[in-house]
C-alpha cells in the first residue's frame, strides 16, 4: 500500500536533518558542548542503524531515551511509549513538554534539549503515538483521538502538573487539539512555525515502496510498524483544528523562522490574531525547524517564556540573531 502525505508540514520522504534544510545548514549550530551520555549504550529498542549516526547531539539524546508504560483504553494494556525524561524535577517552573513535527520523533530536539536543561527547565521530549520509537507491535489506532488520549495518559501518569506544551509544525495542531480537550493539563503553549490551517490530510496518493532512510530524521521509519501506523493516521483524516483555535485561552508564544518556506507568514499572523493571549517572536537565520537551525535562540525564548517573562527580551545577545515582534494585522 502506497500513500502520499500532504499536510502542509514537514515533507515526509528523505529528510536528513544533518544536511541542508532549504538554504540553511543544521551543522552550523554545533558550537556548544554536548551533554554527552559518555559510554552509555543505546537503548535496545532503537534500530541498530543508530550506531551509524555521527551527529553527537543525536547520539547523546538517543542514549537517554526510555520507554514508559502508558495505559490505553479501558483495559490494562499498555503502550511502551518512548520519550526522554528530565534528569531532575524543577520547583521553579512548570514542566516543558516537547512534541515534534509530523512523522518525526523526539530526536528532533537533539540540539535544543540540552540547552533547556542547562537553563534549569524540567524538559520532557515525547513521541506522539504512531510516530517515533514507541512499541506499536499491537497496532493501536493512530488517529487524532488516540494520539490525544495517549498524551493525556502519559501526562497523567508521569508529569502530573500543568505543563508548557511545545508543538512545532503539525505538532502545533497536536498541542491545540490537546489543550482544548484537556485545558487543566496545560499552563502555557509554545507553537513553532505552526501548521494549523490544513484541513486534514488532503487527498491520499501513494507512498513510494522505497524510502530514503537518511539521517536522524528517518531513523524511526526502520521500525516494523512505521508504515502501518502512518497509514492508520492518514486514513483517519488527520488534524483539523481550525474551529478550535479561538477556544484556546492559554498564554501562547508563537515562534516563527525568518526563512520558513512551509508555513506562510500570513498564517502566522492570522493565528496570532485568533488567539486571545499570544505573542510572536521571529528567529533570524532559521527555516521551518528553528529548534534545529538556531537552538540557542529557541531555547532562550522558551526558557524566558517558561520563567514568566512574557515579553521575551528581543535584544538578547544569547540568541545570536535579531528577534522581532510581529505586529497584528
Cite the active site residues.
169, 260, 288
Work out whether the CA dihedral 35, 40, 45, 50 comes out positive or negative: positive
Which three-class secondary structure state does DSSP give residue 165? strand
User: Please, are residues 259 and 283 in contact by the beta-carbon 8 Å criterion?
Assistant: no
With a CB cutoff of 8 Å and minimum separation 6, the contacts of 96 are 116, 121, 122, 123, 124, 163, 164, 166, 302, 306
Distance CA 290, CA 258 (A): 9
User: Please, are residues 150 and 69 in contact by the beta-carbon 8 Å criterion?
Assistant: no
Distance CA 152, CA 181 (A): 10
94 DSSP assignment: P
Residue owning grid cell 505586529: 327
User: Please, are residues 154 and 126 in contact by the beta-carbon 8 Å criterion?
Assistant: yes
User: What's the gap between Cα 134 and its chain centre?
Assistant: 15
Distance CA 34, CA 43 (A): 19
The secondary structure of 221-262 as a DSSP string is GGSTTHHHHHHHHHHHT----GGGGGG--SEEEEEEETT-SS
User: Please, are residues 229 and 236 in contact by the beta-carbon 8 Å criterion?
Assistant: no
Q: Which of 132, 256, 240 has its CA nearest to residue 194?
A: 256
Amino acid at each position: 500500500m502506497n500513500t502520499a502525505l500532504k499536510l502542509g508540514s514537514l515533507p515526509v520522504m528523505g529528510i536528513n536533518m544533518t544536511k541542508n534544510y532549504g538554504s540553511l545548514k543544521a551543522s552550523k549550530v554545533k558550537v556548544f558542548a554536548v551533554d554527552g551520555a559518555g559510554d552509555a549504550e543505546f537503548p535496545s529498542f532503537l534500530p541498530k542503524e543508530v550506531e551509524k549516526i555521527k551527529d553527537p547531539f543525536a547520539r547523546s539524546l538517543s542514549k537517554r531515551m526510555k520507554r514508559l508504560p502508558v495505559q490505553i483504553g479501558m483495559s490494562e494494556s499498555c503502550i511502551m511509549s518512548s520519550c526522554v525524561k528530565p534528569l531532575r524535577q524543577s520547583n521553579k517552573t512548570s514542566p516543558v513538554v516537547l512534541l515534534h513535527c509530523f512523522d518525526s520523533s523526539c530526536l528532533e530536539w537533539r540540539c535544543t534539549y540540552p540547552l533547556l536543561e542547562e537553563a534549569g527547565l524540567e524538559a520532557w521530549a515525547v513521541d506522539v503515538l504512531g510516530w517515533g520509537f514507541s512499541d506499536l507491535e499491537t497496532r493501536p489506532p493512530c488517529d487524532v483521538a488516540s494520539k490525544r488520549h495517549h498524551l493525556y495518559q502519559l501526562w497523567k501518569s508521569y508529569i502530573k502538573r500543568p505543563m508548557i506544551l511545545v508543538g512545532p509544525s503539525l505538532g502545533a495542531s497536536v498541542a491545540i487539539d490537546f489543550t482544548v480537550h484537556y485545558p487543566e493539563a496545560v499552563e502555557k503553549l509554545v507553537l513553532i512555525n505552526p501548521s494549523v490551517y490544513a484541513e486534514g490530510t488532503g487527498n491520499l496518493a501513494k507512498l513510494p515502496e522505497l524510502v530514503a532512510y537518511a539521517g536522524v530524521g528517518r531513523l524511526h521509519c526502520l521500525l516494523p510498524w512505521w508504515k502501518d501506523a502512518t497509514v492508520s493516521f492518514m486514513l483517519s483524516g488527520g488534524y483539523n483544528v481550525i474551529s478550535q483555535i479561538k477556544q484556546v485561552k492559554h498564554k501562547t508564544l508563537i515562534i516563527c523562522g525568518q526563512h520558513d518556506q512551509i508555513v506562510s507568514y500570513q498564517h502566522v499572523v492570522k493565528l496570532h490574531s485568533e488567539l486571545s493571549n499570544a505573542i510572536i517572536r521571529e528567529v533570524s537565520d532559521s527555516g521551518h525547524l528553528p529548534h534545529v537551525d538556531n537552538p540557542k535562540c529557541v531555547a532562550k525564548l522558551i526558557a524566558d517564556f517558561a520563567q514568566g517573562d512574557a515579553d521575551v527580551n528581543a535584544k538578547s545577545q544569547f540568541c545570536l540573531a535579531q528577534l522581532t515582534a510581529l505586529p497584528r494585522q
